[in-house]
Amino acid sequence: MTRILLLNSGPHSEASHGYKLATETIAAAQIDNARIIERDLVHSPIPPIGREYAMAITSHTPHDDQAFAWSERLIVELEQSDMLFIVTPMHNFTVPASLKLWLDYVIRINRSFNSTPHGKVGLMQDRPTFILVSSGGFHVGERAKQLDFLTPYLRYALASIGIKDVHFFPLEGLVFGPEAVSKAVEEARLQLSAKLSAALATSTAS
What residues make contact with ligand FMN under the rule CB under 6 A?
A: 10, 12, 16-18, 89-93, 134-137, 139, 146, 174
| Minimum distance from residue 72 beta carbon to ligand FMN (Å) | 29
Nearer to ligand FMN, 17 or 127 (CB): 17
Cβ proximity to ligand FMN, 57 vs 99, nearer residue: 99
- CA–CA distance, 151 with 133 (Å, rounded to integer): 8
Which residue lies nearer to ligand FMN by CB, 56 or 86? 86
> Which of 20, 191, 165 lies closest to 82 in space, CA to CA?
165
- Residue 135 Cβ, how far from ligand FMN at the closest point, in Å? 3
Compute the least distance from the CB of residue 190 to ligand FMN, in Å: 17
SS3 for 30?
A: coil
Shortest Å, Cβ 180 to ligand FMN:
12
Q: Are the C-beta atoms of residues 94 and 14 closer than 8 Å to each other?
A: no
Using alpha carbons, select from 141, 151, 130 the residue that is nearest to residue 195: 130
Nearest 10 degrees: CA dihedral of 83, 85, 86, 87?
180
Least distance between ligand FMN and beta carbon 162 (Å): 27
CB of 141 to ligand FMN, least distance (A): 13
Query: Measured from the CB atom, is 9 or 71 closer to ligand FMN?
Result: 9
Return the ∠ at Cα 18 (arms to 13 and 22), rounded to 5°.
Answer: 100
Tell me the three state secondary structure of residue 91.
strand
Task: Specify the residue, 137 or 162, whose C-beta has the smaller distance to ligand FMN.
Answer: 137
The sheet that has 83-89: what strands, in order across it?
A: 34-40, 2-8, 83-89, 129-134, 166-171
Q: Which is nearer to ligand FMN, 93 or 156 (CB)?
A: 93
Backbone Cα Rg of the chain: 17
